[in-house]
Amino acid sequence: MAKNVVFSRLRRLGKNERFDDDLSSSCDSDEVHVLAVDDSFVDRKVIERLLKITSCKVTVVDSGMRALQFLGLDEEQSSVGFDGLKVDLIITDYCMPGMTGYELLKKLKGSSTFREIPVVIMSSENILTRIDRCLEEGAEDFIVKPVKLSDVERLKNYMFGEGRTKSQGRGSNKRKLQETSSSPSPTSSTSPEPSSDLSSISSPSTPRSPTSLDSPSKRYKTSHHD
């Protein structure tokens, strides 16, 4: 287990990065810790940089399996041993060999320990049914690739809303997503729960469709795909 953690941490060590020894210091710093999952080497490099430049601690892995390993979920362990490595956000590619981002999302939302962690899906394909499916399964957001700085900056709202008792409530960006649909989302925006809280308020019970196709620009352009 510790071995997996070290391995995962080493994977993300870029030669240009200062290595804060966050293995020993816990995440009570203000930095959010993001776990990024993508099978593409190019995209991993880009997402890592995007996240770091927005002041996040980043762990990057190349598959859903590795993500689960990092979280300790595949071994069905509780997250107790991982407090110091608490993950505040998971951002994953959709199309990956083996386990897709969607499957990873389902696994995470099916776990009482990890379902509170906001999950964002990235995809090169702007397919409405796909977006819908992911949001219904509990994804916070869906980003159409290629990912830009403005996309990542927007994500910070989720990160601070979840595990941190700061600023915005969790619902704020979901509201933006569904501006034109009925507003009171089942997930309350008034209580930013720490991610270890097991009371599950995160999974929406009603399907939400991204009817606000106009905001933010690139994400939900109507597509002629099915």
Point out which residues bind other proteins (CB under 8 A): 16, 40-43, 45-46, 49-50, 53, 95, 97, 124, 145-149
Question: For residues 49 and 175, which CB has a smaller minimum distance to other proteins in the complex?
Answer: 49
Quote the CA–CA distance of 181 and 173 in Å, as a whole number. 13
Q: Provide the minimum distance between the beta carbon of 47 and other proteins in the complex, in angstroms, as a whole number.
A: 9
Chain-centre distance of CA 66, in angstroms? 15
Q: Provide the minimum distance between the beta carbon of 45 and other proteins in the complex, in angstroms, as a whole number.
A: 5
Q: Provide the minimum distance between the beta carbon of 205 and other proteins in the complex, in angstroms, as a whole number.
A: 34
Question: For residues 40 and 212, which CB has a smaller minimum distance to other proteins in the complex?
Answer: 40
Question: For residues 71 and 147, which CB has a smaller minimum distance to other proteins in the complex?
Answer: 147
Question: For residues 27 and 152, which CB has a smaller minimum distance to other proteins in the complex?
Answer: 152
CA distances from residue 187 to 29, 166, 173, 221 in whole angstroms, order as listed = 27, 17, 12, 25
CA distances from residue 64 to 7, 29, 102, 226 in whole angstroms, order as listed = 15, 27, 10, 25
Question: For residues 133 and 148, which CB has a smaller minimum distance to other proteins in the complex?
Answer: 148
Quote the CA–CA distance of 94 and 39 in Å, as a whole number. 10
Q: Provide the minimum distance between the beta carbon of 138 and other proteins in the complex, in angstroms, as a whole number.
A: 25
Q: Provide the minimum distance between the beta carbon of 52 and other proteins in the complex, in angstroms, as a whole number.
A: 8
Q: Provide the minimum distance between the beta carbon of 94 and other proteins in the complex, in angstroms, as a whole number.
A: 11
Characterize the bridge pairing of strands 141-144 and 32-37.
Answer: unpaired
Question: For residues 95 and 201, which CB has a smaller minimum distance to other proteins in the complex?
Answer: 95
Amino acid at 175: R
Long-range pairs for 175-184: beta carbons < 8 A, 24 or more residues apart? 176/212, 176/215, 176/216, 177/135, 177/141, 177/208, 177/210, 177/212, 177/215, 178/208, 178/209, 178/210, 178/211, 178/212, 179/211, 179/212, 179/215, 180/211, 180/212, 181/208, 181/209, 181/211, 181/212
